[in-house]
Chain A
Amino acid sequence: MQPYDGHIGVQEGVILVFALLSAMLFLQYPQFLVEVGGPAGWQVALIMTLGAMLLLVPASALARRFPGMGLAEISREAAGSVVGPLLTLLVSLWLFASCVLTLRSFTETFITTILPDTPPSPLMISAALCALFASYKGLESIARATQILLPLIAGGSLLVLLFSLPRLDVSLLYPFWGHGGVPTLMGGLYYSSMAADVVVILAVGYAFRDPGHLRTSGMVGTLLFGLGAIAVVFVLVGIFGAPIASQNPFPLYNLARLIYLGRFLQRTESVIVMFWVLAALVRISVLLHASAVTLSGALGLPQYRPLLFPLAVLLIPLALLPQDFLTSLRIDRDVIRPLGFVAVLAIPLLLWLLALLRRKGGKRHAT
């Protein structure tokens, strides 16, 4: 078990999950939802939310069976000392890959939108250093910092959506069923892997005093993220129309650029950029922390901190590997997101079944 680096309650858990997932709404993910659903992109977001909440069921069941344990300990307990660490390693690799692509996506968005002359490496190094520092301080520190930052991030994004409303054309949200029920349903289920990063809470399950807190944090955080996704997609399609919205990898930034209330209020994107930076840092920090924790668990190390610096160093060259922005988008959409089902659904489900078969966990571990 990881040494004590703080506990988090339901409130911090919800905030952590919401911040971790909602940072994706600044990136290309709303565009993916519109691509599948067309004018009914918001329905895809709705199904994605419900699907994502369902994905959490095995993780919640595992946490209930093994209270006070993180994924690494649960794996070792349920699947043994050979298979268990391997499964943890898979989750760790996926979390790290997600972290790498998040770093690349945010770097690309900064360069494309506000810092066109800045090379990517200084941005990546700055972000990696911040994430390294936050991860080193531990989960509780990240959660508390997020508690302070989240109102800024969420409030700022909400204001962008509200100020965009005068431009909203409801007709753009028709035909109501978009490309039809089946593509919407399948697309929604496919993109429920957008919330696969929520497996982070299982990775750091030891930080929750009560397994019920973990479940509530995951469910409520995912639900809030889903509501945010529905709102962003709704406004995005209602303003740009589905054809343009589906080609829009910087949704909130582009919405902020359109805010034009006469001479009174315009050029608000400079404000959204600030929230963007904060959201990116929170997400990268959480993912780096969870990657290190799971990796140390898989390797049987007593401490995750020695792994942080090597991981942070690896993060940068790996983020630079995709040759262009589009390649990184495609890798994320076609490889990393589908593999999210393995991380958040298949592995926890397998571990739960193994625990059942091998009669591990349950009352024996009840606190």
Chain B
Amino acid sequence: MRHKRLAALLLLLSLLLTGCWNKVEIEENAYVLAIGVDEGEKGLHRITVAMAKPDKLAGKEGGGGGGGDGDEKSIVLSTLDAPSLTGAISMLNGFTGRNVTLQHAKAIFISEEVARAGNMKILDELIRSREIRQTIFFVVTRENAADFLDKMKATLTNNPMRYIEELTYNYRRNAMLPASSQVNTFVSQLDVNYAQPLTYYAALAAEDDGEPGEGKAGGEAEATYDAGDLPRTGGSNVEMVGGAAFRGRKMVGVLSADELRPYLLLQDAFRQAFVTYKDPHDPGSFVSVQLSRGRPFSVTVDVTGPRPRIRGRVSLEAKLIGVQSGVDYSEPALQAELEESIAKQIETSIYELVKRTQEWGSDVIGLGRHAVPLFNTVEAWEAYDWLKKYPDADIDVEVLVTLRRFGLTLSPLEENQ
């Protein structure tokens, strides 16, 4: 009985231990949702933090979002020049009135200027800090990160970072983004010698004048749209498509929205996409298909010669969604012709992508991952120096498209034929 009483007393006393050192009341903290990094004065970083206004975030959906007008903003922005992120947070605590915490940060926005300069000194803090999660999104912005965060307008949600998160799902639905762009993936790829990082790339759309822009389409079946150039009007002013390519810590180029499709195909990370191709029977018309993954990307690499040789085979399945020309592609001969035409167009896009990345000297596709198993030891692999050899690699990819389904009607409308 005495033991039971003692145990009960100890249990009760344990309640007193809960708030000794690390107790934090929720309302004592200011929660940073996003971090922006720009070039600052005198070699410092210009750090912008977007802190949540919990009462606004909890408001009705479809409000002003992050960049809403006046009092409707759900975030508070602060920008300061500091030598490091920690320094910035420290300064922020001097005027925020609450303890600024990064525990709920969802994304870090690095301006293109900083990325192209390779000024990524902040990376080490991102990895070491216990507050920052390595799963936060890594986004390169065409504009200054501070401007981007200030002007971004999320639609359909109050929470701008939830909006960014929803945009990332575009990878699964439309293959217009890298499969992943988080701090962890970025850092991992800096250390492996078979790939280079490719991150999300976002930009603000031009001021809405009520007229859709032109992009770089020029009448091609597949327009080469970069983020910020989509020919559109209305909606949110944030465009996040394509990717920022890096060589080491330095950004070397931008892949457009439709270059991401062949990129994902060669990474074997492609899921599905709705794509428009030139009609082989009527160059002025287009054929819309839903592409999905067929067999896994098969690839062989030969490293015995002076240049690496890569032979690959991409297998895709297609569902016909629309035929503007009215050609009846359910006819077996025409079906084969369409399959071949789509395959050729995809092959062309693959070669163009490979050529661009070779010009940058950056294997953002990660084709080296197919070469590394050919080496027995780390030392042999490092001596081969894949990343130096990649620009000269001879790459040949065969694409196989199989038209599986034709939509709810098999033949086109009579009047079109």
A residues engaging B (CB < 8 A)?
A: 38-39, 112-119, 122, 169, 171-172, 174-180, 239-244, 254, 257-258, 260, 263, 266-267
Contacts and interface: CB of A to CB of B under 8 A. Distances in A.
B130 A178 contact: no
A254 B373 CA distance: 27
Contact of A112 (B130, B135, B376): B130
B379 interface: yes
Interface stretch (B33-41, B83-91, B187-195, B343-351): B187-195
B319 interface: no
A241 B378 contact: no
A261 to B, nearest CB: 10
Interface of B: 20-22, 130, 133-135, 165, 182, 184, 187-188, 191-192, 194, 366, 369-370, 372-373, 375-381
Contacts of B134: 254, 257-258
A180 B377 contact: yes
A122 B188 contact: no
A174 B130 contact: no
Given A171-B372, A175-B375, A258-B184, A116 B135 contact: no
B9 to A, nearest CB: 14
A243 B378 CA distance: 11
B187 A244 contact: yes
B135 A257 contact: yes
Contacts of A171: 192, 194, 366, 369-370, 372-373
Contacts of A254: 134
Nearest to A184: B377
B376 A266 contact: no
Given A179-B378, A244-B187, A244-B188, 10 more contacts: A118-B21, A172-B188, A172-B192, A178-B377, A180-B376, A180-B377, A240-B184, A241-B188, A241-B191, A258-B134
A172 B368 CA distance: 11
21 contacts: A112-B130, A115-B21, A116-B130, A117-B22, A118-B21, A122-B21, A171-B192, A171-B194, A171-B370, A174-B372, A175-B373, A176-B373, A178-B377, A180-B377, A240-B184, A240-B188, A241-B188, A241-B192, A257-B134, A263-B165, A267-B133
Contacts of A244: 187-188, 191
Contact of B375 (A118, A174, A243, A257): A174
A226 to B, nearest CB: 24
Contact of A177 (B21, B22, B191, B377): B377
B257 to A, nearest CB: 22
Given A257-B133, A258-B135, A117 B369 contact: no
Given A119-B21, A176-B373, A260 B135 contact: yes
B356 to A, nearest CB: 23
A112 B133 CA distance: 14
A114 B130 CA distance: 8
A243 B369 CA distance: 16
A122 B372 CA distance: 49
B188 to A, nearest CB: 5
B372 to A, nearest CB: 4
B8 to A, nearest CB: 15
Nearest to B24: A117
Nearest to B162: A263
A107 B184 CA distance: 26
A243 B21 contact: no
